[in-house]
Structure 1
Amino acid sequence: MPKEDARLGSPERLARIYRAVRHSLVAVASHRAAPYRGDATLIRQLGEAEIFPGMHHDMGAYWQRVCTGRLRLVDVPGDHFTCVRPPHAASVAALLTDEYRGVRG
C-alpha cells in the first residue's frame, strides 16, 4: 500500500471522521423543520449510498410533508456523494442552471 494511502486509515483520521459523522447525524435527527410556504425543486439522487439506505425515498416523503407549495422531484444519476462528481455533476449543473433561469425568467 502506498504511504499516502496508509494515512487514510490512520486512527487519528478515523476518529475525526467518526466525530464529524456522529455530529452530523445527531444534528439531522434532532432538527425539526418548519413548513416551507413556497414551491421547491428537490434534486434527488437515484443511487443508494451504502451508509444512507433508503434515503432516496425518505427524502421525497420528508420534503412532501415540509413543503406546502408545489414540490417537484427531479432524480439525478449517482448516489448521495457521487451525484455531484463527474460524470454525474454535469446533470446536476444543467438542472440548477435551468432552475435559475426559470426563476429569473
Structure 2
Amino acid sequence: MTRPASPLLHTTGAATFGTCNAQNQRLFSVNPGISGVEAMEHASLLMNCVNTLSFLGAMDDGNEAMRWASHYLSEMAKAVIDDLTIGLQQAQAGDE
C-alpha cells in the first residue's frame, strides 16, 4: 500500500544546478532542511515564471534573453523537485 507523502519531508541538499566551466561543474545546490511544502511552492513559482517567459520568448523571435531566463529558471525548479524526490525516496526506504 502506498503512503501519502509525509508533511515532515524536507530538502536533502543533494541536488545541484548551474553547470559551468569546461568540467561542467555545478555552481549551485539546493539547501538542505527546507520544508517540502515550501520547496514545492517555490518550484511552482519558478515554473510559473518559466511558462510566462517561454511563451513570451516564443512570440518574440528577437529576444533570446527570455528563452535563456526560462532555461535557467527551469533548471532551478527541476533541482528543487529532484531534491525533494531524493528526500521522499530516503523517507520511504526508512519506512520499509
Check whether TM > 0.5. no
Q: With CA pairs under 8 Å and 6+ residues apart, which has the higher RCO, 1 or 2?
A: 2
Using the size of structure 2 for normalisation, the TM-score is 0.29
Structure of greater Rg:
1
